[in-house]
Amino acid sequence: MSGPSGVGKGTLREHALKNIPDLVYSISCTTRQPRTGETDGVEYRFISHEEFEAWISQGLFLEHAHVHGEIYGTLKSDVESQLNLGKSVLLEIDVQGALQVREKMPEAILIFIAPPSVDALRDRLLNRRTDSPQIIELRLHNALRELELQSEYDYVIVNDDLDFASRKLREIFDGEMR
């Protein structure tokens, strides 16, 4: 699942994990600093640039990408161990990462969460007050690039209404698991 920062992926993910049986979340690694309230091993594994680079050279990542000036990635072993247990694995990753996953696992389903408009996205980023104005501008700039790539995805959900978007996500899972 991908979509620009502020589009509501986090909330949709929580709904999906509560409502979809046998769905687990893959916790990503990142070099960015934890935000207030974030805990290592819960939202992300927060690791240093050195460690990240070392793990990349050891081939430990299923995918990784530079996003908003930091590195983010999904560990291969995390996804494989859950798939081996018969679970479905939800990745919440950027567009570059999603395209790498598709290359390596063509059976992956790519879902793009789109905002109703760019203005709505700006409002959401400003309202959540987690980032400085410069970071918000950077995230909006990146959002426009990401929106251009939504045609690469198997499904696009416009997150205008949370209940509706959540239901759509559930329908996609039900349809794909049949």
Residues that bind ligand 5GP (CB under 6 A): 2, 5, 28, 32, 63, 65, 67-68, 72-74, 92-94, 96-97
Q: How far is the CB of 174 from ligand 5GP (least distance, A)?
A: 24
Position closest to ligand 5GP via CB: 97
DSSP structure string for 135-156:
HHHHHHHHHHHHHHTGGGSSEE
Spatial CA neighbour of 30 closest among 89, 78, 100, 93: 93
**Which amino acid, residue 103?**
E
- Smaller CB distance to ligand 5GP: residue 149 or 175? 149
- Smaller CB distance to ligand 5GP: residue 67 or 90? 67
Q: Give how far Cα 54 sits from Cα of 30, 57, 58, 68, Å.
A: 13, 5, 6, 21
Token pair, residue 48, equals: 């240093």
Q: How far is the CB of 178 from ligand 5GP (least distance, A)?
A: 27
- Smaller CB distance to ligand 5GP: residue 81 or 175? 81
